Amino acid sequence: MANKPSMYVEPDSYYALLRALKGLPKEANNELRTMAKQIATDIVKPSVERAIRSHAGPYADKLAKDVRVSRDRIPKVAVGSRRKRFSGGASGIQIRYGTIVGPYRTGIKGGRADKMQNWADNVSPGWTDVAARDYTPPAFAAWDRAVESIVTKWNRGY
């Protein structure tokens, strides 16, 4: 049996909820954005940073510093940027991809033997899965409470 996610959100229901939230007054949407940013700052960002530090090997510190919170109606973080962060000129986005997929092997090509890329020594791929398992339940629960409180407040006519 396949692993079930700790919390599954039906995409159509999620998009319907976001469309419905657009109908709230501007002040309510601003309040939701503020609460979502706080949830991302308190729950999601530390979880992502921990996962990067435990999986990204020698790139961990610089990549973890590149995690930033965005202001949106849902808790949202971004990892990596276009800014050159590494001595070879690589950006955080370029390193982020490599730390997610990890080292790869190339097949026999033109008579050459199987070669493995060396840059990814000590990188354990899959930090995104580790982070998601860590932050999903508490972040969704906090966001659910925030949405519920805002909808209740604004339905009473504030």
* Domain spans in the chain, listed from the N-terminal domain onward: 25-155
Residue 133: how many other CB atoms lie within 10 Å: 15
Query: Chunked in runs of 10, what are the mean pLDDT values of the chain (158 residues)?
Result: 54 80 87 95 94 84 89 90 78 76 57 51 73 90 92 80
Contact 151, 22 (CB under 8 A): no
pLDDT at position 57, please?
79
SS3 134: helix
Q: Could you tell me the pTM of the whole model?
A: 0.77
